[in-house]
A and B are shown apart, each in its own frame.
Chain A
Amino acid sequence: MTDAPILEMLGISKRFGDVQALDHVDLVVGQGEIHALVGENGAGKTTLMNILYGLYRTDTGSIRLRGKDARITSPRDAIALGIGMIHQHFMLVPPLTVAENVVLGDERSGPVLDRRAMERRVRELEEKFRIIAEPSARIEDLPLGIQQRVEILKVLYRGSDLLIFDEPTAVLTPQEVDELFEIVRALRAEGKTLILITHKLREVLAVSDRITVLRDGKNAGQLVTKDTTASEIAQAMVGRELEEALGRGTKVREDIVLEIRGLRAKSDRGADAIKGIDLDVRSGEILGIAGVGGNGQSELAQCILGLRKVAGGVIKVGGIDVAHDDPERTRERGVAYVPEDRRIEGLVLPFTVADNFMLGKQEAAPYARFGILDLTFIAREGDRLAREFDVRPPNARAIVGTLSGGNQQKVVLGRELSAEPKLIVANQPTRGLDIAATEYVHRRLIAQRERGCAVLLISSELDEVRALSDRIAVMFEGRVMATLDARTATEQQLGLLMAGHADALPR
């Protein structure tokens, strides 16, 4: 498989101001292999790939492609050299069709738009690589998994034989990830070379041939997938051994903090999103909600917080029905919320860290007196929480939007957990975070459980749900299929329940 390398990036360095993003990094990729480029957020993976794709110039070192020196100064050069990038944030125009998006910029006809010819060419391409996406469908009507196929088709259409996938599974459901991997393997069988940027070890092990690990802008290991283990890769990425943040709740008590009976609610589009749910979460317990995204989990979280109108049923927190309360009142009952999208729902990005810590508490002492903000207190409290929750840099005057995703999530946690809530509703709390930040979030949630807090953990990462939860409820199409004991539930059982097969239940 790995004869002569197709790509040799040797001694690559890149400096942005004071930050040495890459320090003499080597990346050698064999012809026809799937090469995983792994590392924590900020390790330099994306910078390295942006150099290869012509978005940045390297300060030192050389790039050799198919044995020849390559000068790449713009994405156009890269495309001409057969390098294609499948961006993490899809570069697709939503109101245009699949075919239009594939050929855009390289229409090979014109000036009159011949949709039929366009769609025929795209269909031929799809047949060749066995990637299915209806050419006449509009992008905005397609699920993310199919949209990603269109991104892949765009690159193949331009004749790329070296494909870079930037965090390709970040937005996909587990099924879509499986389908993507089938496509990836099929592309390898067609002789394409693939570079996968990721930090998800399970995926690295499942699909790659070789692995290059980056840490803090330096090479931290070159591994052959079949000869390595998840913990070896993780250690190379993080630079230390990871603590297992596991252990079931030791202090599950009898008192029910959250009690949901017969809950019903509609989605934004007016469809029935929640069709009668019963749940209990006890003090000192983490109840995990597993399920493929979009099966009513987010609506459930919003109902509990008072962010979504409840169509029927009861939501009791500490014995009091909060189903029709607004978020302010619900929060006063001791409910904390880690929302699904921290950048939109969780934080005000242009505000400082200190201001974000204060949000929601700004109306009363000690943060304000007689309607006037106590800026001294807010600054002091901001510094204290930034230290306590390990926000980096530990500067409460930093603008939250400039922080990394992991540090942004720490700000959310700092605000939500510092009030010692009775109930935490955490929706996808580690989405997009790297291993170290994920570990941090997990430790914090477990610490809250040990304190006696009830935690409702919604996650589409089955590993996460299994690792943290005491019990697991599986949601499918607005219903809870079953609630299982996390110690005895198998992955296969859970997977079947997530796909809607109730007969997977233990008898």
Chain B
Amino acid sequence: MTIEMLLGAGVLAATLRLATPILFAALGGVITERSGVTNIALEGCMLVGAFFGVFVADKTGSLGVAIAAGVLAGIVLAALHAVAAVTFRADQIVTGMALNILALGLTSYLDYEAYATTGTPSTIPLVPDFVVPGLSQVPFVSDVIGRQNTLVWAAIIATVVLQLYLFRTIPGLRLRAVGEHPRAADTVGVNVYTTRYLAVLASGALAALGGVYLSLGAVGSFSDNMTGGRGFIGLAAMIFGRWTPIGALVASLIFGYGDALSVSLQGVTIGDLRVPVQLLSTIPYVLTILAVAGFVGRSRMPAADGQPYESEGH
């Protein structure tokens, strides 16, 4: 085992790549839960984003339209969740889970119908890498961030924007108030339903962007259930990050690093001992459990998170 395997540019670059879809889902989780709606359908939003990104890229040949279509698919799925959870006050875990199953079945079916014999075409337009100008001469750094997918940067920018939005703007203040004490917000004229709808739709869009990154950025094709639980891991990153965008970024990087290590340490031995990669890759989840159980400082969810709101009066 060498330092290269633990902290080499390759491992760090992989960390960023692997953290990105988790981060998108985590950001979606932050905005929806800050408004008081749990959305575990983020996994499904990500999956439909991944599929419709590839599908529309194939049909139209336009990357822009493809990304928009992927995001739109995520928004549509999230809208179903919003209708059930906000308007009809359904159990948010149940509807979220149902939508995940729907997304999995739908994308697998459409994938089979469209590409069963051929597989996803290799000619579709993909999201290009972004070459940071003037960095090619800088050793190490250029290997880590010099050539990352554009959506990796988009995720980081989205983190900063969302952080500022939530904690430095009036609409962000109102959104947080709705997630903590919806009746208080309602009595001073903040529309709880509109706020929650928009937050849920935004969460679907963000998670779907993570899916688009997976299919059109990282892999270049779609395969059944290709998100493989990253939406859920995103929710864990949100909790670990204490419901803040910056925290979610840090948590996603830790999870991404865990993933990257389990790749780079594959088959590596120390003396006679083979590094237990599978065990290493559980570290993020152990950290999550500790975070949720309150061992890593105070981690408190928005007070009205997951609770349907019914306005007063007749």
Size category of the binding interface on chain B: 20 to 34
Q: Which residues of A contact B138 (CB under 8 A)?
A: none
Separation of A74 and B312 alpha carbons in the complex (Å)? 10
Q: Which residues A107-130 have CB closer than 8 A to chain B?
A: 107, 109-113
A224 contacts partner chain B, Cβ-Cβ < 8 Å: no
B169 close to A91 (CB less than 8 A): no
A-contact 0/1 string along B5-45, CB 8 Å cutoff: 00000000000000000000000000000000000000000
Q: Of the candidates A94, A101, A113, which one forms a contact with B168 in the assembled complex, judged by CB atoms under 8 Å apart?
A: A113
Separation of A96 and B167 alpha carbons in the complex (Å)? 11
A79 contacts partner chain B, Cβ-Cβ < 8 Å: yes
A105 close to B180 (CB less than 8 A): no
A92 contacts partner chain B, Cβ-Cβ < 8 Å: yes
| Residue in B185, B303, B312, B313 whose Cβ sees the most chain A Cβ within 10 Å | B313
A-contact 0/1 string along B168-188, CB 8 Å cutoff: 111111101100110111011
Task: Indicate whether A105 sits within 8 Å of B185 (C-beta atoms), given known contacts A96-B173, A113-B173.
Answer: yes
Could you list 27 A-B pairs, sorted by A, with CB under 8 Å?
Answer: A55-B312, A74-B313, A75-B189, A87-B187, A91-B181, A91-B187, A93-B180, A93-B181, A93-B184, A94-B181, A94-B303, A95-B180, A96-B176, A96-B177, A96-B180, A100-B173, A100-B177, A104-B174, A104-B184, A105-B189, A110-B169, A110-B171, A112-B169, A113-B167, A113-B169, A113-B172, A113-B173
Q: Of the candidates A76, A85, A96, A100, which one forms a contact with B189 in the assembled complex, judged by CB atoms under 8 Å apart?
A: A76
A-contact 0/1 string along B131-146, CB 8 Å cutoff: 0000000000000000
Separation of A107 and B172 alpha carbons in the complex (Å)? 12
Separation of A94 and B303 alpha carbons in the complex (Å)? 9
B314 close to A104 (CB less than 8 A): no
Q: Of the candidates B167, B177, B189, B312, which one forms a contact with A93 in the assembled complex, judged by CB atoms under 8 Å apart?
A: B177
Separation of A110 and B188 alpha carbons in the complex (Å)? 17
Q: Which residues of A contact B102 (CB under 8 A)?
A: none
**In the assembled complex, how far is the CB of residue A91 from the closest CB belonging to chain B, in whole angstroms?**
4
Q: Which residues A66-112 have CB closer than 8 A to chain B?
A: 74-76, 79, 85, 87, 90-96, 100-101, 104-107, 109-112
Q: Which residues of A contact B171 (CB under 8 A)?
A: 110-111
Separation of A87 and B183 alpha carbons in the complex (Å)? 11
15 new A-B pairs (CB below 8 Å) besides A74-B313, A90-B184, A91-B184? A55-B312, A55-B314, A56-B313, A91-B181, A91-B188, A94-B180, A95-B303, A104-B174, A109-B170, A110-B169, A111-B170, A113-B168, A113-B169, A113-B170, A113-B172
**In the assembled complex, how far is the CB of residue A39 from the closest CB belonging to chain B, in whole angstroms?**
21
B275 contacts partner chain A, Cβ-Cβ < 8 Å: no
A112 close to B177 (CB less than 8 A): no
Separation of A300 and B183 alpha carbons in the complex (Å)? 35
B190 contacts partner chain A, Cβ-Cβ < 8 Å: yes
Separation of A110 and B173 alpha carbons in the complex (Å)? 11
Q: Which residues of B contact A107 (CB under 8 A)?
A: 170, 173
**In the assembled complex, how far is the CB of residue B275 from the closest CB belonging to chain A, in whole angstroms?**
42
Task: Indicate whether A111 sits within 8 Å of B169 (C-beta atoms), given known contacts A91-B183, A96-B180, A104-B177.
Answer: yes
| Dominant SS among interface residues on chain A | loop
Q: Which residues of B contact A96 (CB under 8 A)?
A: 173, 176-177, 180
**In the assembled complex, how far is the CB of residue A16 from the closest CB belonging to chain B, in whole angstroms?**
8
Minimum CB distance partner of A158 in chain B: B188
The tally of residues in A whose CB lies under 8 Å from a CB in B reads 30
A154 contacts partner chain B, Cβ-Cβ < 8 Å: yes
Minimum CB distance partner of B188 in chain A: A105
Separation of A110 and B180 alpha carbons in the complex (Å)? 21
Q: Which residues of A contact B187 (CB under 8 A)?
A: 75, 85, 87, 91
A443 contacts partner chain B, Cβ-Cβ < 8 Å: no
Q: Which residues A226-275 have CB closer than 8 A to chain B?
A: none
**In the assembled complex, how far is the CB of residue B34 from the closest CB belonging to chain A, in whole angstroms?**
11
B314 close to A56 (CB less than 8 A): yes
Separation of A408 and B176 alpha carbons in the complex (Å)? 35
Q: Which residues of A contact B314 (CB under 8 A)?
A: 55-57
Q: Which residues of B contact A54 (CB under 8 A)?
A: 313
Separation of A94 and B300 alpha carbons in the complex (Å)? 12
B180 close to A104 (CB less than 8 A): no
B-contact 0/1 string along A46-73, CB 8 Å cutoff: 0000100011110000000000000000
**In the assembled complex, how far is the CB of residue A58 from the closest CB belonging to chain B, in whole angstroms?**
11
B168 close to A104 (CB less than 8 A): no
Minimum CB distance partner of B187 in chain A: A91
B177 close to A79 (CB less than 8 A): no
Q: Which residues of A contact B184 (CB under 8 A)?
A: 90-93, 101, 104
Q: Which residues of B contact A50 (CB under 8 A)?
A: 313
Q: Which residues B49-74 have CB closer than 8 A to chain A?
A: none
| Residue in A55, A95, A105, A112 whose Cβ sees the most chain B Cβ within 10 Å | A105
**In the assembled complex, how far is the CB of residue B195 from the closest CB belonging to chain A, in whole angstroms?**
11
**In the assembled complex, how far is the CB of residue A464 from the closest CB belonging to chain B, in whole angstroms?**
31
**In the assembled complex, how far is the CB of residue B300 from the closest CB belonging to chain A, in whole angstroms?**
8
Separation of A93 and B314 alpha carbons in the complex (Å)? 25
Separation of A27 and B234 alpha carbons in the complex (Å)? 56
Q: Which residues B187-241 have CB closer than 8 A to chain A?
A: 187-190
Minimum CB distance partner of B180 in chain A: A93
**In the assembled complex, how far is the CB of residue B80 from the closest CB belonging to chain A, in whole angstroms?**
29
**In the assembled complex, how far is the CB of residue A473 from the closest CB belonging to chain B, in whole angstroms?**
37
**In the assembled complex, how far is the CB of residue A89 from the closest CB belonging to chain B, in whole angstroms?**
9
**In the assembled complex, how far is the CB of residue A484 from the closest CB belonging to chain B, in whole angstroms?**
43
8 nearest CB pairs, A to B:
A105-B188, A110-B170, A91-B184, A55-B313, A105-B189, A93-B181, A93-B180, A93-B177
Q: Which residues of B contact A91 (CB under 8 A)?
A: 181, 183-184, 187-188
Q: Of the candidates A90, A105, A112, which one forms a contact with B190 in the assembled complex, judged by CB atoms under 8 Å apart?
A: A105
Separation of A111 and B303 alpha carbons in the complex (Å)? 25
Minimum CB distance partner of B184 in chain A: A91
